[in-house]
């Protein structure tokens, strides 16, 4: 696994690790369960010596399926679903096999837009994995806060 992935994964896990235990207590709430599943995926990615894009892709697809079901059952609202699925898309773009860097311009454009939307800061130059990790962490924290406020 490239060094930048380790940094990215560790950053997200440390930031999210502060609220993994409270998520267990609220496991009956779909939004918390979805965020918890994403945290667990990061833990698996961090404990792996190599990043298997196929396994990450499969896990993301399973999580997305759960999110779609929760939305269809009205257990999460449209806004949560859109924000959460965007996080999943960012992770998918960051981990997808891209031989020949065919998707690189699209990925960089999407990363820059996501980072700016979440942090309010315009990305100068190319977006980096640490900037993306920070924005993902901030967005997941914001999603959790929105769930807390609905209690």
Rounded Cα distance between 128 and 92, Å, is 15
Taking a C-beta distance cutoff of 8 angstroms, is the pair 134, 9 a contact? no
The residue behind tokens 């992770």 is 91
Mean pLDDT of 39-49: 76
Taking a C-beta distance cutoff of 8 angstroms, is the pair 127, 113 a contact? no
Q: Which two tokens stand for residue 110?
A: 């999407």
Q: What does the pLDDT read at residue 20?
A: 47
Mean pLDDT of 27-54: 80
Q: What does the pLDDT read at residue 9?
A: 56
pTM of the model: 0.80
Q: What does the pLDDT read at residue 23?
A: 43
């Amino acid at each position: 696994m490239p060094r930048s992935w380790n940094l990215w994964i560790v950053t997200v896990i440390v930031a999210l690790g502060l609220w993994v235990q409270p998520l267990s207590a609220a496991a009956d709430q779909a939004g918390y369960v979805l965020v918890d599943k994403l945290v667990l995926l990061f833990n698996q990615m961090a404990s792996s010596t190599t990043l298997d894009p196929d396994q990450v892709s499969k896990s993301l697809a399973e999580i997305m399926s759960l999110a779609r079901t929760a939305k269809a059952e009205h257990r999460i609202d449209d806004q949560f679903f859109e924000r959460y699925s965007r996080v999943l898309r960012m992770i998918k773009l960051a981990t997808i096999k891209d031989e020949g860097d065919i998707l690189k311009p699209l990925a960089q454009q999407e990363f820059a837009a996501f980072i700016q939307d979440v942090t309010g800061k315009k990305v100068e130059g190319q977006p980096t994995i640490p900037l993306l990790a920070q924005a993902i962490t901030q967005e997941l924290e914001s999603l959790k806060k929105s769930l807390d406020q609905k209690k």
